[in-house]
Amino acid sequence: MREPSSVGFEANGVVSPTPIPPQPLLERLKDYGQEDAFALWDELTPDERHSLVKDIESLDLSRIDRIIRCSLRSQGLPTAAIEPVPESSVSTVEDRTQEERERWWKMGLKAISDCKVAVLLLSGGQGTRLGSADPKGCFNIGLPSGKSLFQLQAEKILCVQRLAAQANESSASSVQIHWYIMTSPFTDEATRKFFESHKYFGLEAEQVTFFQQGTIPCVSKDGRFIMETPYRVAKSPDGNGGVYSALKYSKLLEDMASKGIKYIDCYGVDNALVRVADPTFIGYFIDKGVAAAAKVVRKAYPQEKVGVFVRRGKGGPLTVVEYSELDPSLASAVNQATGRLRFCWSNVCLHMFTLDFLNQVANGLEKDSVYHLAEKKIPSIHGYTTGLKLEQFIFDAFPYAPTTALFEVLREEEFAPVKNANGSNYDTPDSAKLLVLRLHTRWVVAAGGFLTHSVPLYATGVEVSPLCSYAGENLEPICRGRTFHAPCEITF
Ligand code: UTP
């Protein structure tokens, strides 16, 4: 142990010759039972003491204390019994008519060309399972084009802007979808640099707004801060549901209102098949007149590790139950009338909200203060230690919605998750790549194209640039009668 140093801090942060931690700050920490954060004070260098004081000062201790207490207290409390989502609030693939699909597509394109739609990307996660040093959106999943997830999404926005302009006879430059990108301190700088160095992938720089979500201390099971170093509290992003307070505190809800935005399409960065600003979903949402909606896929099998939409209590609000919370007998129960699992509508983080609802929920969720607790390995002064991360989830908003609707999509068309590193059993860059290649190969064949391939077709395929086609449309002029050697990218 080093000799206790004889320097301390004055209020303005100037190094002064006192050996003790700043008393008012220490007293505040004591009020919340967090004084251990200063336990190693005597061993710190003046610079480290300065960092520790700054770190603690940056925390809103009373808010954090409220969140920790409320979240720990509500853990394990009985919740209202769950009910399946009524059939009437789900638009299933089989029930949708061609006429409806076309009508919704046109309505969506009209809303886009009237600049009423914004896209909100959740990109603040740490991507620990994927294990890449860069933000997940920068990841190249190995498609023939080598495009990153961010580029695929940007090009879908460019494509849908063009489709909206064409459908409504507007000039191409007058249709702009604003893209709000939520980062966190872990992803912010690298994300901004990536966009800058790729010239925003062809989008206008001013149509992209980055904003950061908050972080929250990681705690032990008894609610004490875990120290990442002797002079820094371990913190993690406050979950993708942190988007509501982040939007509020960055004043972006006002920004949206000033731009005339009414509908917000919200999604997670790690889906290689995401249909960003899908006109059909937007049209459906507007037609239904609901406050919040989600795209869902049918649960593949009872034990699949996905959260499902349910109603909490009889006639209660729509919410998501994680697979770990769903009793196995309920997970495998079948609805005799439809032949589907009773709880079959899986959440895939594809949501649509009205701006009015986002305003309402940004205030409501904050007051609630109940966060989900996830047991994780946290980097600490004692090496990796088991602790709790506190998170809100984007779907926590659903119980606040006065009206909701679910829209079934086919997972092979819209869901290619990138969660785990290659070599894992599922949801890897490789599995996502194959899902993209398979879908695009089907589009090309349906448009009259042919494929040759020197590796088996199940392991390869063609990639269609989102600049050419958003969802398989308009490919005939490019593909009919042509032969493509897989793997390759098809572009203009
Ligand atoms: P996940 O929890 O599945 O991914 O988030 P992750 O956090 O990136 O990766 P792991 O769990 O550490 O391996 C789903 C979506 O929510 C976003 C992610 O960026 C992803 O788009 N997210 C997650 C946030 O925006 N903020 C968060 O605090 C957590």
CA-based diameter of the chain, in Å?
82
Is beta strand 345-354 parallel, antiparallel or unpaired with respect to 483-486?
A: unpaired
Q: Is 374 in the pocket of ligand 1 (CB under 6 A)?
A: no
What is the CA(380)–ligand 1 centre distance, in A?
Answer: 21
Side-chain half-sphere of 88: how many Cα atoms within 13 Å? 2
- Bridge partners (DSSP) listed for residue 177: none
Q: What's the confidence (pLDDT) of residue 20?
A: 84
Positive/negative CA dihedral, 114, 467, 121, 189: negative
Please, which residues have CB within 8 angstroms of residue 240's CB and are 6 or more apart in sequence? 122, 124, 125, 182, 213, 268, 349, 391, 392, 393, 394
Please, which residues have CB within 8 angstroms of residue 307's CB and are 6 or more apart in sequence? 320, 321, 322, 323, 346, 347, 395
159 — alpha (psi -120 to 50), left (phi > 0) or beta? alpha
CA distances from 132 to 139, 168, 349, 420, 421 (A): 8, 42, 21, 10, 8
Distance (Å, whole) CA 134 – CA 190: 7
Mean pLDDT in runs of 10 for the chain (492 residues)?
39 55 94 97 94 96 95 80 91 96 98 98 94 96 98 98 95 93 97 98 98 97 97 96 95 98 98 98 98 97 94 90 89 92 96 97 78 93 96 94 96 97 96 98 98 89 97 97 97 88
Distance (Å, whole) CA 281 – CA 376: 35
Distance (Å, whole) CA 253 – CA 44: 43
- The CA-based angle 55-26-381, given to 5 degrees, is 50
> What torsion, rounded to 10 degrees, do the Cα atoms 492, 120, 431, 296 define?
-110
| pLDDT 10s digits, 397-420 | 999 999 999 999 999 999 999 999
Positive/negative CA dihedral, 373, 379, 383, 384: positive
The preferred substitution site among 121, 126, 371 for testing ligand 1, maximizing ligand atoms within 8 Å of CB, is 126
Q: Which domains does the chain have, with CATH numbers?
A: 9-58 (no CATH), 82-427 (3.90.550.10), 440-492 (no CATH)
Q: Which atom of ligand 1 is nearest to the CA of 136?
A: 8
Q: Is 122 in the pocket of ligand 1 (CB under 6 A)?
A: yes
Question: Atom 9, ligand 1: which residue's CA is nearest?
Answer: 127
Is beta strand 178-183 parallel, antiparallel or unpaired with respect to 117-122?
A: parallel
- Bridge partners (DSSP) listed for residue 121: 181, 267
Q: Is 270 in the pocket of ligand 1 (CB under 6 A)?
A: yes
What is the CA(132)–ligand 1 centre distance, in A?
Answer: 13
Q: Is 268 in the pocket of ligand 1 (CB under 6 A)?
A: yes
Distance (Å, whole) CA 347 – CA 243: 18
What is the CA(393)–ligand 1 centre distance, in A?
Answer: 10
What is the CA(139)–ligand 1 centre distance, in A?
Answer: 14
What is the CA(126)–ligand 1 centre distance, in A?
Answer: 6
Q: Is 135 in the pocket of ligand 1 (CB under 6 A)?
A: no
Q: What's the confidence (pLDDT) of residue 314?
A: 84
Q: What's the confidence (pLDDT) of residue 18?
A: 55
Helix (H, G, I), strand (E, B) or coil at 296: strand
Amino acid at site 187: T
The preferred substitution site among 240, 349, 376 for testing ligand 1, maximizing ligand atoms within 8 Å of CB, is 240
Q: Which two tokens stand for residue 38?
A: 């200063």
Q: Is 417 in the pocket of ligand 1 (CB under 6 A)?
A: no
CB 385, CB 377: distance < 8 Å: yes
Q: Is 129 in the pocket of ligand 1 (CB under 6 A)?
A: yes
What is the CA(166)–ligand 1 centre distance, in A?
Answer: 35
Question: Atom 20, ligand 1: which residue's CA is nearest?
Answer: 268
Distance (Å, whole) CA 418 – CA 107: 31
What is the CA(122)–ligand 1 centre distance, in A?
Answer: 8
Q: Is 253 in the pocket of ligand 1 (CB under 6 A)?
A: no
Q: Is 449 in the pocket of ligand 1 (CB under 6 A)?
A: no
Q: What's the confidence (pLDDT) of residue 78?
A: 67
Please, which residues have CB within 8 angstroms of residue 7's CB and are 6 or more apart in sequence? 15, 16, 17, 18, 19, 46, 49
